Amino acid sequence: MSRARTSNQDIRQTAAPENGSGCLSLYSLPFFAVFMITCLITALSLSAPAVTSASPQQISSGISPIFTREVQHWANDITRWAAAASLDPNLIATVMQIESCGDPRAVSSAGAKGLFQVMPFHFQFGENPYNPETNALRGLNYLSNSLTTAHGNVRFSLAGYNGGIGVIARGEWTWSAETIRYVYYGAPIYEDARAGLTSSSKLDEWYQRYGAGLCRQASKRLGITP
């Protein structure tokens, strides 16, 4: 939910005190290249079939093996949170994968915090945003609202989680480059998980391009050894 609570801009994710990054930033490319890539991704997303959420009877009892070991660390919690929120655990795992790779202390440059990168103003006074239970409660409440607003369309609900629920009602060509990238990775990763695959080329692409540093930080934080 990191971008869902701020303006539509690229946010560089960090996990203090380490310096890795899990952001989907294109700042390193010339402006024209960024523009062209954004247009291409938008065109592809417009032509892609909608991904809808699983019906209650289709919701899995656990998370797919495609997710990284850092997210697998939270598998039992994700299943429990999913049951409480009436969400597919694979959708929750997808959001956690992209947002924090399972690092409960992840922090973005915009101030989003924790496993689901929740902005401070979503917490009640006195709540600890880094507490996994609290972070999941606030983050998944926003995800659930986004999914409801999107009438079960996962692509739109992911866009709402990243760019703010208001983007759901707008044409995809108006979405920020960051939100387009978020959906570009999130929707097919979720679809691969829901389909019962044992690997995901889109998750591998995300990891190689953007997630390796973020996941290294998460592994260190969780005490996961190579």
Catalytic residues: 99
What is the Cα–Cα distance from 162 to 139, expressed in whole angstroms? 11
What is the Cα–Cα distance from 59 to 70, expressed in whole angstroms? 22
Centroid of chain to Cα 93:
8
What is the Cα–Cα distance from 56 to 87, expressed in whole angstroms? 8
Contacts of residues 177-182 at CB distance under 8 Å and 24 or more positions apart, as own/partner, are 177/10, 177/26, 177/34, 177/37, 177/38, 177/41, 178/3, 178/8, 178/9, 178/10, 178/11, 178/24, 179/3, 179/8, 180/38, 180/41, 180/42, 180/45, 181/24, 181/41, 182/3, 182/24, 182/98, 182/158
The pair of structure tokens assigned to 107 is 């922090």
Among 91, 10, 111, CA closest to 123 = 111
